[in-house]
Amino acid sequence: MRKGDRLKEKIIKKEQIGKWLEKLGKDYEIWAPVKKNGLVSFYPIQSAKEIYFDFLNSKKTPKDLFFPQSEVLLSFPKEEVGKEVKTILQKPRIIFAIRPCDAKSLALLDQVFDSEDYQDPYYVERREGILLVGLACTHPQQSCFCTSVGGGPFEKAHLDLVMADLGDGKYFVEALTQLGEGLMQRDDSLQDVQEKDREKLAKTKEEAEEKVKSKLVTKGLEKKLDKIFDSPLWDRVHQRCLGCGICTYLCSTCHCFALLDEKDKARVKRIRNWDSCMFPEFTVEASGHNPRISNRERMRQRVMHKFNYFVERYGETACVGCGRCIQSCPVNIDIREIIEEIRNE
Amino acid sequence: MQESEKELREVAKKLLLEKKVDLIIGYEEGTLPLRTRPIFIREADETKKLVWNFRCENNLCFYLKMAKERVGIVAKGCDIRSIIGLIKERQIKRENIFIIGVPCSGIIDRKKIEDILEGRELLEGIESDSQIILKGEGLEEKVDKDKLVHASCKSCKYRNPVLYDTLIGKEVSQGEGEEYSDVEEFASKSDNERWAYFNDEASRCIRCYACRNVCPACYCPQCFVDQSLPTWFGRTLHPSDTLIFHIIRTLHIAGRCVDCGACSRVCPMNIELRMLNKKAEKDVKELYHYEAGISLEELPPMATFKMDDPQEFIK
């Protein structure tokens, strides 16, 4: 390890985090996991005391901080047609304690909203103003399968800074970008890393990786899907589906939306709302015809988009293995089983 | 419990072998601890997968709404009340449904388990007749089943099916009966307090519509909230959009809701709007002396007119 690398690593005690965040809070709006009504989600915080550090993962993904579920894109008085109102972040933001799987999902969304062909100004503006401070996942759940889709509980990709709970009241902190380094340097009370901390980190990482028990083979899945578009498999896997939007709205990579214009007495608004391929209206054409007539076609679309179309277009699977769809499906539809079935078909 | 499961499998197998039904809809074990899930069985051999226990939380009537065959359905007291509603409203034909009634002393509410877990992961759940052992990393807790029973089941007085073609197992003791003290207490609060409560609940809504989709009383081919020509309601997350959806749904199912609790169990955001539905149920009961899903003959109050119906609203 080079000397410069070591400077990018520090140790912070749990009780020091509050002070550190206080310093960062002067220039950044900090969003972190907070437990409200029994659910953990990302909220802006004033103090580290509000943070729920022991969360498995948040119920909702942090994607709505970049791509809100409902956003006014344009709004103008009826008389002033064409005047654009853009949302601008008041302050740069930090998403504190984002899980590696959710960070990976942002990298996937970047390909959609910030590509060479197309830049979504609303997404891009937020993305550029937000720093990602990751919290390595020491408690992967039974439903997690990040290691099968190119991730891992201690994966550092796409983060500015990563922290790992060493379990002894200390966190290992590593800066991964210049901006991340800047965040670390804000607090000079962070301590140097000792060899035993490094050993602890390696051990914690190994233990976490062992906890990811679900192993799926996703390699070549896209080719298999090419061949089974009309397979009776789809008759089987959709049977239980209620056709609700839980799996899509809690998914960290789903990104479909619908535009709607609204007007009241004074103003006209163009609003972008999330939409779900599991809803019948998603594909209703102007004639009234609906090419995806039942849950069979809709569920096939969801699987195809994640494991075939996205792979074809961007070279990666649009699933990060966070397991939220498995955990929250009211009828226990399990994407791991569906992948297995596809492979065995 | 195990005996009734055995009986259930035998009954289902016989129904398929004798070709009395084409399809059995019931429950099987799921892929996560303590979870069961709907299963669709067409082959007699598959009936060994059927389970029946106090974890069978789904109201399977959703699947009757689209069934075109003769279906045998495993149904709890509340599910049967939903079936009666669907027959009365001519959504399904009685002769196409074979009701395998299961007396039910209440199913468990997974949200209560989550409260006990306090963020820890449940790795295993072991059940006995009256207790559940919750196991996780550094966790082993014995909990009485009674403490985990869903709110709707606690007060249920139709734990034994009111209509069935065959009954599995023995009848059970009924619940405490309607209890509207919580509704009355809530109704006595100020407008502002009530408004704040509903706004707070609706503010978590992500518009996944799981509550509507799972509801046996919600079967409109197109829901008012999905119509876009014209768009009746906004699609944003503002409570003026989300709350109006929930309030209108309550009004649409007033006098039809059987308080099966499926809407609150499927909600991923822990939204608790049962209070609204209970209030509607109470009003219908007081005004029209009617309870939904009890008899096939009694006409639904919203579809009939009687000279002695309360008419105080006509001034």
Q: How confident is the model at residue A3 (pLDDT cuts 50, 70, 90)?
A: very low
The average pLDDT across A257-281 equals 90
Q: Which residue of B has its CA nearest to A55?
A: B119
Give me the interface pTM, i.e. the ipTM: 0.94
Residue A122 has pLDDT above 60, yes or no: yes
Cβ pair B278, B70 in contact under 8 A: no
Average pLDDT, chain B: 92
Q: What is the pLDDT of residue B155?
A: 85
Please indicate if any CB of chain A lies within 8 Å of the CB of B240.
no
Q: Do B266 and A330 touch (CB under 8 A)?
A: yes
Q: What is the pLDDT of residue A232?
A: 95
User: Tens of pLDDT along B72-89?
Assistant: 999 999 999 999 999 999
Q: What angle do CA A241, A246, A248 make, to 5 degrees?
A: 95
Domain ranges in chain B? 1-107+157-177, 110-148, 179-315
Q: Which residue of A has its CA nearest to B67?
A: A239
Q: What is the pLDDT of residue B2?
A: 79
SS3 content of chain A, % helix, strand, coil (to 5): 40, 20, 45
The phi and psi torsions of A329 (rounded to 5 degrees) equal -65, 125
Q: How confident is the model at residue A1 (pLDDT cuts 50, 70, 90)?
A: very low
Residue A339 has pLDDT above 80, yes or no: yes
Burial of residue A166 (CB within 10 Å: 0-12, 13-18, 19+) is: buried
Residues 6 or more apart whose CB falls under 8 angstroms from that of B127 comprise: B34, B53, B54, B55, B133, B145
Contacts of A332 in chain B (CB under 8 A): 30-32, 35-37
User: Tens of pLDDT along B26-39?
Assistant: 999 999 999 999 99
Q: What is the pLDDT of residue B182?
A: 87
Q: How far is A88 from chain B (nearest CA, A)?
A: 19
Q: What is the pLDDT of residue B218?
A: 95
Q: Do A37 and B231 touch (CB under 8 A)?
A: no
**Which of B60, B236, B263 is most worth mutating to test chain A (most A CB atoms within 10 A of its CB)?**
B236
**What CA–CA distance (Å, rounded) separates A187 from B315?**
72
Size of interface A-B (CB pairs under 8 A): 110
Contacts of B206 in chain A (CB under 8 A): 60, 69, 245, 249-250
Q: Bridge partners of A134?
A: A98, A162
Residues 6 or more apart whose CB falls under 8 angstroms from that of B280 comprise: B250, B251, B253, B254, B255, B257
* Three-state secondary structure of A172-197: EEEECCHHHHHHHHCCCCCECCCHHH
Question: Which among A77, A72, A207, A36 has a CA at the least distance from the CA of A136?
Answer: A207
- Beta strands per DSSP E along B145-223: 166-167
User: Taking a contact as any Cβ pair under 8 Å apart, which residues of chain B between 283 and 312 contact chain A?
Assistant: none
Beta strands B139-144 and B131-136 are: antiparallel
Q: How confident is the model at residue A78 (pLDDT cuts 50, 70, 90)?
A: low
How many CB atoms are located within 10 Å of the residue B112 CB? 15
Q: How confident is the model at residue A123 (pLDDT cuts 50, 70, 90)?
A: very high
Q: What is the pLDDT of residue A6?
A: 55
Q: What is the pLDDT of residue B4?
A: 92
**What CA–CA distance (Å, rounded) separates A267 from B46?**
60
**What CA–CA distance (Å, rounded) separates B266 from B211?**
6
Q: What is the pLDDT of residue B175?
A: 74
The average pLDDT across A100-114 equals 96
Q: Do B121 and A139 touch (CB under 8 A)?
A: yes
The phi and psi torsions of A23 (rounded to 5 degrees) equal -65, -45
User: Tens of pLDDT along A168-206?
Assistant: 999 999 999 999 999 999 988 899 999 999 999 999 999
Contacts of A280 in chain B (CB under 8 A): 222, 226
The phi and psi torsions of A83 (rounded to 5 degrees) equal -80, 125
**Which of B24, B25, B41, B213 is most worth mutating to test chain A (most A CB atoms within 10 A of its CB)?**
B213
Name which of B33, B114, B210 is nearest A242 (Cβ-Cβ). B210
Please indicate if any CB of chain A lies within 8 Å of the CB of B169.
no
Lowest-confidence range among A1-15, B54-68, B141-155? A1-15
Q: What angle do CA A20, A22, A27 make, to 5 degrees?
A: 105
User: Tens of pLDDT along B274-292?
Assistant: 888 999 999 999 999 999 9
Residue B179 has pLDDT above 80, yes or no: no
Q: What is the pLDDT of residue A84?
A: 56
Q: How confident is the model at residue A57 (pLDDT cuts 50, 70, 90)?
A: very high
Q: What is the total residue count of chain B? A: 315
Q: What is the pLDDT of residue B1?
A: 58
Q: How confident is the model at residue A266 (pLDDT cuts 50, 70, 90)?
A: confident
